Amino acid sequence: MKATRALTDALLRIGPSILPFADAATVELPLGRLLRLALFQATVGMAAVLLIGTLNRVMIVELEVPAWIVAVMLSLPLVFAPLRALVGFRSDTHRSVLGWRRVPYIWFGTLLQFGGLAIMPFALLILSGDTTGPHWVGHVAAAFAFLLVGAGLHTTQTVGLALATDLAPAHARPKVVALLCAALLAGMVVSALVFGLLLANFSPVRLIQVIQGAALVTIVLNGIALWKQEPRDTSRSDKSAPRATFAESWRAYAGDGTARRRLVAIGLGTAGFSMQDILLEPYGGQILKLSVGQTTALTAMLAAGGGLGLMIAARWLNRGGDAFRVAAAGSVIGIAAFSAVIFAAPLDSARLFAAGVTLIGLGGGLFAHGTLTASMAKAGPEDTGLALGAWGAVQASAAGLAIAASGILRDVGAAVAQSGVLGEGMNEPAIGYLIVYHIEIAFLFATLIAIGPLVRAEASANTRVVRPDEGRTRLLTPKTLVNQPS
């Protein structure tokens, strides 16, 4: 009996160190409840993979939809990205007879996402020309479906992160952020594998089944995620209580000396890490002559690096690290990563390319975790949604614009190089890709410039003071200084 008890105690002690993010649980937010809450991130990842990955290929290859129409449809969800700050603000100030402020927005976001996915396969089939009616019906229906999914995706993620911030105590938020980001990553990887297997033998009926199955999974998992999460507060049912306007709240938020610089750093860094999203696999196949299986494995390497970055960031922040330093470290690793990817072409080294891809994931994980944690830390109890909405709006908009620009820059750069304007030595197939990777490095250097004052501002919260009576230097926080006797 004693031996069994000792073994159980030992397992309980080492459990958090073996299981990633197991120590993110607290008394206020137990592990089971936290894992349920993370399901909304998994459905967001599933929707992102379905739109950007699976449907991108299916629409162009199997349904033979013109590429420019596909590009327009896939960009429509970005229309709602700038509105995330407004959605977050509305969830901060929502008055409900049920006493909730976050749950209604997450639920209606889920319904929007479900509705868009439910009608999407039929709209795509009409868009492909498989109809006897007018073609404009397919264009309108597909645009409406993509808009619904985009609105639901952005609403669910923004308010879901705000709810997680409400529920998690301040000391546990870095670990909670890591778990939520890992859930997003896991949702993307698992859904990509499942969609690939289910659509291996493509047919219109199978397309309908897969997309509508994703709609069903979305509403079921988000329902489980919301169950008994937000406590009801009867004071929120008073609709006559005074409320600040969005303009007033935004001025107060943006009036913070570091808020605008923080958003600029988030935008630059996100653009720096996102431009490669649609280029790494073609670069590996066209320039390094990798097989389809080898280029597909790049996604796993990127995800593995991202997961490692999240775990390192969570441990670093849990030990009292500065979130901006974590983000800066991610940017530095990103610069090294893109340098490795660039040199892989002249060296014809697939191993160097694989290492660079893994480091991109590592740096991106550190940067995403650091900036999201910093946004959470700067949010007050009454403007959490606004702060996280601003983070999401900048992050999503920068990523979307960067991905769109990368394809254009790659094509234009390749055309200029092949025209001979840059000289004979630059007339190489890799030049278009390398131009984009160099621009990403420039973005990451600009990110470091933007983050530098933020690190100094965070460090100034602690003041190093020499106490003559003690004869040594002590590190005193502002609170300690106030409590010191005169």
Q: Is the pLDDT score of 337 beyond 90?
A: yes
* Of the candidates 188, 454, 439, 455, the residue with the CA atom closest to the CA atom of residue 334: 439
Which residue type sits at 113?
Q
pLDDT at position 280, please? 80
Asked if 160 and 184 touch (Cβ cutoff 8 Å), the reply is no
**Cα four-point dihedral sign 355, 357, 363, 366:** negative
Q: How far from the centroid of its chain's Cα atoms is residue 401's Cα? A: 15
Distance CA 416, CA 395 (A): 31
Asked if 162 and 390 touch (Cβ cutoff 8 Å), the reply is no
Query: For the segment 343-360, what is each residue's pLDDT rounded down to a tens digit?
Result: 998 898 889 999 999 999
Asked if 448 and 332 touch (Cβ cutoff 8 Å), the reply is yes
pLDDT at position 235, please? 65
pLDDT at position 468, please? 43
pLDDT at position 188, please? 84
Q: Is 474 left (phi over 0), alpha (psi -120 to 50) or beta?
A: beta
- pLDDT band of residue 65 (cuts 50, 70, 90) is confident
* Mean pLDDT of the chain, nearest integer: 79
Tokens 């702060």 belong to residue: 387
For the residues 256-260, what does the mean pLDDT come to?
76
Query: How long, in residues, is the chain?
Result: 486
Joined together, the tokens standing for residue 56 give 């991108």
Q: Which has more pLDDT, 370 or 94?
A: 370
Asked if 372 and 391 touch (Cβ cutoff 8 Å), the reply is yes
**Cα four-point dihedral sign 180, 185, 189, 195:** positive
- pLDDT band of residue 78 (cuts 50, 70, 90) is confident
Distance CA 430, CA 420 (A): 14
Distance CA 148, CA 80 (A): 10
Cα-trace Rg, the chain: 24
pLDDT at position 25, please? 62
- pLDDT band of residue 219 (cuts 50, 70, 90) is very high
| 363 Cβ contact partners less than 8 Å away, ≥ 6 residues apart | 273, 305, 309, 329, 330, 331, 332, 333, 334, 336, 337
Distance CA 369, CA 400 (A): 19
Q: Is the pLDDT score of 22 beyond 50?
A: yes
Beta bridge partners of 464: 475
Q: What count of other Cβ atoms lies within 10 Å of the Cβ of residue 315?
A: 14
Burial class (CB in 10 A: 0-12, 13-18, 19+), 411: exposed
Please determine, looking at this structure, whether the domain spanning 28-231 carries the CATH number 2.20.28.90: no
Q: Is the pLDDT score of 68 beyond 90?
A: no
Distance CA 127, CA 138 (A): 4
Q: How far from the centroid of its chain's Cα atoms is residue 223's Cα? A: 21
Percent of the chain's residues with pLDDT above 90: 19
Q: Name which of 3-12, 114-123, 358-367, 462-471 the model is least confident about.
A: 462-471
φ, ψ of residue 465 to 5 degrees: the values are -125, 140
Q: Name which of 397-401, 421-425, 461-465 the model is least confident about.
A: 461-465
Q: Is the pLDDT score of 182 beyond 90?
A: no
Q: Is the pLDDT score of 474 beyond 50?
A: no
250-458, what's its fold?
Answer: Growth Hormone; Chain: A; (1.20.1250)
Query: For the segment 403-429, what is each residue's pLDDT rounded down to a tens digit?
Result: 878 878 888 888 887 777 776 667 777
Distance CA 486, CA 480 (A): 12
Q: Which has more pLDDT, 484 or 56?
A: 56
pLDDT at position 1, please? 54
- pLDDT band of residue 451 (cuts 50, 70, 90) is very high
For the residues 290-297, what does the mean pLDDT come to?
70
Start-end of CATH 1.20.1250.20 domains in the chain = 28-231, 250-458
Asked if 14 and 157 touch (Cβ cutoff 8 Å), the reply is no
Q: Is the pLDDT score of 333 beyond 80?
A: yes
Q: Is the pLDDT score of 473 beyond 50?
A: no
Buried b (16+ CB within 10 A) or exposed e, 323-341: bbbbbbbbbbbbbbbbbbb
- pLDDT band of residue 14 (cuts 50, 70, 90) is very low
